[in-house]
Amino acid sequence: MKVFRQTMSWVIPIVIGLLIALLIKQFLFQIVRVDGPSMQPNLQNNERVFCLKTAKIHRGSVIVFDANGVDPQVATKTDYVKRVIGVPGDTVRSANGNIYVNGRKVNQSYINNTQRTSGTGNWTLKSISVQNNWLRDSGATKVPKGQYFVLGDHRSVSNDGRYWGFVPKSKIDGVVKVPSWTGTATTRYNVNQEWKHYWAN
């Protein structure tokens, strides 16, 4: 009996600690590793960031979502990190390096002019939905209810909403926040705060 009590005295705290860690990961936040260059220059390959489960999603927010069931090329749970460009009901178009949402020009100060013009392309939601045969959203003119349109910051290499469509809210794990010990003050701002200045002046 004494051995049992001694064993339980360290087993129970470990079990409680594991349960708390699982609950935090499930409902509050988790650490996510950025995979690939699609969010450069603001997030680097293998950079570790926080994913806040309860944070509100805004235009300009950087989010983590499960690409399985979103990108047809993904067959297992795979985390993608992208920036929200359009929320439900928005119209989105791109022309000459500028992005317009509901007819208003978007502030893209988080990437430079070359990065905006070299890889973003000229399109509307309708043109890319037809071009890429989004069967579930063929001919889409607006971001559907309960879904989001996302792009990578490194547009010339990013596999994003231009090719496979919209991200259902149910697939979104949370909003990315960059901790103070990684990146630079500028890149942290571009991820953590840029959504507050979404519209161009």
Catalytic residue among 2, 25, 38, 142: 38
> How would you list the strands of the sheet with 104-105, edge to edge?
104-105, 98-101, 92-95, 123-124
> Phi and psi dihedrals of 22, rounded to 5?
-65, -40
Residue 124: CB atoms within 10 A of its CB come to 16
178: which residues sit within 8 A by CB, 6+ positions away?
A: 43, 47, 49, 50, 187, 188, 191, 192
82 classed as catalytic: yes
Give the integer Cα–Cα distance in Å for 95 and 112: 16
Residue 130 CA: distances (Å) to CA of 77, 92, 111, 127: 27, 15, 28, 5
Active site residue 145: no
- Among 25, 61, 82, 156, the active-site one is 82
- Widest CA span of the chain, in angstroms? 76
Q: What residues act catalytically?
A: 38, 82
